């Protein structure tokens, strides 16, 4: 297991480019199960979760047909579902990647049968899938739980359109909306999803499905309408840039008092984030010559020398995203005053709190709320967290801290950020990756 060694206190300056979105790519890759035609995807990031999804799809008879010899480049994938005989997503893979649940809707819709291991809890909370199952049942699927597997069968004649309410205790569900929307694309008749997730990744999936011949309208709003079609065709689709990676880089610039230009930045998908950052004294402005496109902009990030405290509550899109909560907390640790963060999506998603405290942060948690009393400096320390975004927060803290920070178990980070250390180093960070053996020597 690799470790990052970070010497803090270097300003990040220069240009950094945002990759394609992990959370957009995963359900989009699963949608390749909906057709026997090739699905060409561009801008796919090279991440452990993407490779796990490729492995899972291959087991389900959906192969990558443009595999390069040697080290495969994942940035362009051609997926081809040419063997529909195996429809079992096994526990071995599902337990490594919860997004495996995205195969459920496409498998039932196209093959009439799916067996997908029930995902367990994870480091950020219980994470039930009841809304996914409720939505697919409303389309007529018969669903049972057998030996830890969700077993789903379409009724004779296939899935039927229906009106479905997908609201849950914490708002809607992103992957649940993706599952139901993908399945409804091939159902007979019209489906209306009420209280659908409005996240940009749902819009990206709808764009892909429509380009394959689906008839989906309203994606990005709480009501999505889907007129089912009998078949979907081939497609060539570019995955949207990763708004969470972009937000993480914006905060890396801010926490180091740097001056970064972030290219391929989906700025329109980050309005709640830039709103809170502006309040804290971080400025995110269109860079010179930026494309006039809110999904692929170039933005320049600068900030005041002294950051102001802010209050933030995580919410479904367009609210402040839970996936940028840990990174913002790291930043607010060095603001001048008391900030408040309330986590409304995953109320237990605070693995970074105790680790930031090891670096000298002053944090007081009460249930889903953390009060952050800013300190002048964080101090380097060995830390680790078993959640991807918590780990990203610790890397940011390390970039700002005085002295050396060791972020252990960076495989969590590798699930969501491609070659993060190389990209941060290129803009001035002192950050090295060492393996387990080297770490033992430190």
> Least CB distance from residue 100 to ligand EPZ, whole Å?
10
Kindly provide the residue ranges of all beta strands, DSSP E only, lying in 90-246, ordered along the sequence: 113-117, 142-146, 149-153, 163-165, 190-194, 215-217, 223-227, 235-238
Binding-site size for ligand EPZ (CB under 6 A) equals 25
Residue closer to ligand EPZ (CB basis): 132 or 237: 132
| Ramachandran sector of residue 88 (left: φ over 0; alpha: ψ -120 to 50; beta: rest) | beta
> Least CB distance from residue 368 to ligand EPZ, whole Å?
11
**136 near ligand EPZ (CB under 6 A):** no
Distance CA 33, CA 109 (A): 9
* Choice from 9, 72, 168, 319 touching ligand EPZ (CB under 6 A): 168
> Least CB distance from residue 244 to ligand EPZ, whole Å?
6
Facing residues of 303 across strands?
282
Residue closer to ligand EPZ (CB basis): 119 or 161: 119
Q: What is the DSSP letter of 202?
A: H
Which residues in the 365-424 window bind ligand EPZ by CB under 6 A? 388-389, 416
Which residues in the 253-312 window bind ligand EPZ by CB under 6 A? none
Residue closer to ligand EPZ (CB basis): 228 or 247: 247
Closest-CA residue to 87 (of 63, 68, 70, 103): 103
**173 near ligand EPZ (CB under 6 A):** yes
Stretch that binds ligand EPZ, among 87-95, 147-155, 169-177, 226-234 (CB under 6 A): 169-177
Residue closer to ligand EPZ (CB basis): 101 or 356: 101
Q: Is the torsion defined by CA of 50, 91, 385, 281 positive or negative?
A: positive
Q: Which helix (H) or strand (E) holds 372?
A: strand 369-373
Active-site residue, from 13, 62, 122, 265: 122
* Choice from 23, 191, 256, 339 touching ligand EPZ (CB under 6 A): 23
Which residues in the 43-102 window bind ligand EPZ by CB under 6 A? 99
> Least CB distance from residue 125 to ligand EPZ, whole Å?
6
* Choice from 36, 88, 90, 127 touching ligand EPZ (CB under 6 A): 127
Q: At what angle do helices 243-255 and 388-400 cross, to 10 degrees?
A: 20
Distance CA 412, CA 385 (A): 8
Facing residues of 151 across strands?
115, 144
Closest-CA residue to 371 (of 326, 349, 338, 332): 338
* Residue 303 annotated as catalytic: no
Residue closer to ligand EPZ (CB basis): 174 or 361: 174
> Least CB distance from residue 175 to ligand EPZ, whole Å?
3
**Neighbouring C-alpha atoms within 13 Å toward the C-beta of 227:** 4
**41 near ligand EPZ (CB under 6 A):** no
**346 near ligand EPZ (CB under 6 A):** yes
| DSSP string of 217-250, one letter each residue | E-BTBSEEEEE--S----EEEEPPB-HHHHHHHH
Residue closer to ligand EPZ (CB basis): 131 or 361: 131
The residues annotated as belonging to the active site are 122
Residue numbers at the binding site for ligand EPZ (CB under 6 A): 23, 26, 99, 127-132, 168-170, 173-176, 197, 321-323, 345-346, 388-389, 416
């Amino acid at each position: 297991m690799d470790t990052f060694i970070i010497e803090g206190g270097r300003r990040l300056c220069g240009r950094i480019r945002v990759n394609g979105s992990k959370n957009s790519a995963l359900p989009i890759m699963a949608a390749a199960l909906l057709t026997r035609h090739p699905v060409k995807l561009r801008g796919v990031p090279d991440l452990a979760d993407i490779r796990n999804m490729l492995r899972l799809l291959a087991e389900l008879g959906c192969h990558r047909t443009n595999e390069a010899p040697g080290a495969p480049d994942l940035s362009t994938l051609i997926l081809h579902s040419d063997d529909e005989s195996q429809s079992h997503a096994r526990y071995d893979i599902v337990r490594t990647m919860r997004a495996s649940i995205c195969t459920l809707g496409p498998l039932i819709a196209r093959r009439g049968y799916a067996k997908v291991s029930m995902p367990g809890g994870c480091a950020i909370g219980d994470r039930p899938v009841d809304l996914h199952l409720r939505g697919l049942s409303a389309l007529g699927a018969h669903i049972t739980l057998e030996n830890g597997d969700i077993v789903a069968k379409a009724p004779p004649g296939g899935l039927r359109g229906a009106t479905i309410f997908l609201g849950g205790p914490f708002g809607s569900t992103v992957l649940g909306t993706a599952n139901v929307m993908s399945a409804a694309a091939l159902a007979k008749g019209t489906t209306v999803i009420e209280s659908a997730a409005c996240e940009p990744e749902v819009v990206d999936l709808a764009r892909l499905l429509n380009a394959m011949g689906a008839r989906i309208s309203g994606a990005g709003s709480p009501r999505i309408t889907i007129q089912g079609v009998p078949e979907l065709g081939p497609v060539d689709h570019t995955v949207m840039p990763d708004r969470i990676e972009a937000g993480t880089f914006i905060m890396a610039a801010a926490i180091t008092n740097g001056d970064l230009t972030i290219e391929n930045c989906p700025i329109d998908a980050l309005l709640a984030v830039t709103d809170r950052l502006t309040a804290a004294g971080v400025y995110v402005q269109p860079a010179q010559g930026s494309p006039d496109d809110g999904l692929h902009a170039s933005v320049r990030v600068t900030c005041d020398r002294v950051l102001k405290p802010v209050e933030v509550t995580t919410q479904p899109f367009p609210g402040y995203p839970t996936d940028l909560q840990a990174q913002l907390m790291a930043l607010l640790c060095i603001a001048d005053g008391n900030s408040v963060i309330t986590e409304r999506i995953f109320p237990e998603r605070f693995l970074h709190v105790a680790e930031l405290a090891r670096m000298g942060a002053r944090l007081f948690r009460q249930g889903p709320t953390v009060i952050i009393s800013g300190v002048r400096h964080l101090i380097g320390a060995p830390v680790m967290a078993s959640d991807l975004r918590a780990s990203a927060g610790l890397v940011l803290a390390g970039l700002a801290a005085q002295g050396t920070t060791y972020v252990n178990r960076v495989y969590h980070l590798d699930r969501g950020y491609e070659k993060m250390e190389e990209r941060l180093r290129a803009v001035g960070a002192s950050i090295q990756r060492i393996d387990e053996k080297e770490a033992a020597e430190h």
